[in-house]
Amino acid sequence: MKPANLRRAAAVAVLLAALTAAAFSLRSRTGVARPRRFDKNVTAMGTFVTVSVFTDDQAAAEEAVDAAIDTIKRLERLLSRFNPESDVSRVNDAAAGEPVSVQRETLEVLDLARLVSRQSGGAFDVTVGPLVVLWREAGESGTLPTPEAIAAARSKVSWKDVLIDAEAGTVTRAREGISIDLSAIAKGYVAAAALGDLRAAGMESGFVNAGGDIAFLSVNPDGSPWRVGVADPRDDTRTLRVLHVRDAAVVTSGDYEQFSTIDGKRYSHIIDPRTGNALEGGGPVSVTVVSQSAALADAWATALSVLGEDGLGAAREAGVECLLLYLDGEEIRTVESPGFADLTPPLGQRTTHRGE
Ligand code: AMP
Ligand code: MG
């Protein structure tokens, strides 16, 4: 498998061009004003974020999209551990046991993270930072970490040691060494928040795409569901599955876009916090999750990358739908939640050329 294929293996894309053309011809035939697409991009959370709305009111579109972009920037300032003034940095820098006042959104995302940690049996854990650093350094030096170094980092990973007091509006690290890294949930959370701005501004159709984590508002302007293509991991010019979604988010994880190579073996940027090991094959090459909550979809895509098909029961209890792709040589094996079939169109439309 060429690295380029693996890198694109998880890619999901909104299949738009055909949709908008269909919408336009429908509207023009019926004589109703044509909805137009308005986009704005911003770089945030280390990725490219696009906010798109479909409307015939340009002024309203610009106002809505600007509000969404402001929200994305504001939340990035709160949630990024690279900004020393963010809520996350202030919590990480405070002494253990000292409650730190944070914004409502920070409490909310930590609360959702805690829920997924509990439901996934610890496969998802926002305190995984020390292990992420250890494996990143191992990748840079080309030497596997020692069992002792893994054990030492693991002792600093414990989601239960992040204490949330919703009433007081505070977060407390229960002991030294514990730190928060929201990389695996923040993109989804922020996409959903930005989508909330579009809705509040009266937009009826649109989406926010945060580096492939996509939150959708309602349906296409022509009333049809959004269509999202999941790339074939063997041939990224082809779409393996097309999902039909309404008012939902689609998030993919485990694409090995970020990985280290040690002794010729690839290690994912996703860690199994239960063992302290970086994922290294055998598991799904990609996990796509659909949920009404983009934050939950993001967190579960990461959790299911760790759990593989063993996590299907937990995902079902959490109410998210998922598609896991495995590569057995050149063969693709798909594992999906029972409700996932409802998201796919009838046979015959399933394999579609990308970029249609
Ligand atoms: P994602 O791309 O959403 O799967 O998030 C992956 C990022 O989240 C990594 O780059 C790490 O910073 C962090 N991370 C790695 N493993 C985990 C895990 N098991 N639980 C939560 N966050 C993780
Ligand atoms: Mg994630």
Which residue, 268, 283, 280, 277, is CA-closest to 146?
A: 277
Q: Which helix (H) or strand (E) holds 4?
A: helix 3-8
Pairing of strands 205-210, 213-218: antiparallel
Residue 127 — φ and ψ, nearest 5°? -100, 15
Ligand nearest to the CA of 131: 1
Nearest ligand 1 atom, CA 306 = 19
How many whole angstroms from 95 Cα to the centroid of ligand 2?
Answer: 28
User: Would you state the pLDDT for residue 16?
Assistant: 66
* Among candidate residues 106, 113, 105, the one with its CA nearest the CA of residue 161: 113
The pLDDT tens digits of the residues spanning 139-189 come to 999 999 999 999 999 999 999 999 999 999 999 999 999 999 999 999 999
Highest mean pLDDT (candidates 98-112, 242-256, 272-286):
98-112
pLDDT of residue 282: 83
Between residues 215 and 341, the one the model is more confident about: 215
Residue 171 to residue 185: CA distance in whole angstroms: 17
Amino acid at site 291: S
CA 301–ligand 1 middle distance (angstroms) = 10
Helix (H) or strand (E) holding 208: strand 205-210
Atom of ligand 1 nearest to the CA of 258: 10
Q: CA–CA separation, 208 vs 162, rounded Å?
A: 30
pLDDT the model gives residue 318? 96
Give the residue whose CA is nearest to atom 3 of ligand 1.
184
The ligand whose atoms approach the alpha carbon of 211 most closely is: 1
Rounded Cα distance, 168 and 155, in Å? 28
CA distances from 155 to 81, 151, 158, 198 (A): 20, 6, 8, 42
Query: Please, which pLDDT band fits residue 256 given cuts at 50, 70 and 90?
Result: low
CA dist., res. 79 & res. 85, Å (int): 10
Q: What is the DSSP string of 74-132?
A: HHHHHH-SSSTTSHHHHHHHSPTT--EE--HHHHHHHHHHHHHHHHTTTSS-TT-HHHH
Residues forming beta bridges with residue 29, ordered by sequence position: none
pLDDT in the model for residue 28: 47
The pocket of ion ligand 2, defined by CB under 5 A, consists of 184, 253, 298, 301-302
In this structure, the chain runs to a length of 356
Buried b / exposed e along 166-184 (16+ C-beta atoms within 10 A): eeeebbbbeeebbbbbbbb
What is the tens place of the pLDDT at every residue in 315-330?
A: 999 999 999 999 888 8
What sign does the CA torsion over 87, 91, 93, 94 have? positive
Which one, of 250, 244, 219, 198, lies nearest residue 61 by Cα? 198
Residues 183 and 275: their CA atoms lie apart, in Å, by 20
Alpha-carbon torsion (271, 187, 161, 176), positive or negative = positive
Cβ(35)–Cβ(205) below 8 Å: yes
User: Residues lining ligand 1, CB < 6 A?
Assistant: 123-126, 128, 132, 181, 183-184, 253, 269-271, 273, 298, 301-302, 306
Tokens for 3, please give them: 């690295």
Q: Which of 171, 170, 177 is nearest to 155 (CA)?
A: 177
Range name among 55-59, 113-117, 237-241, 270-274 with the lowest pLDDT average: 237-241
Least confident among 44-48, 76-80, 229-233, 304-308: 229-233
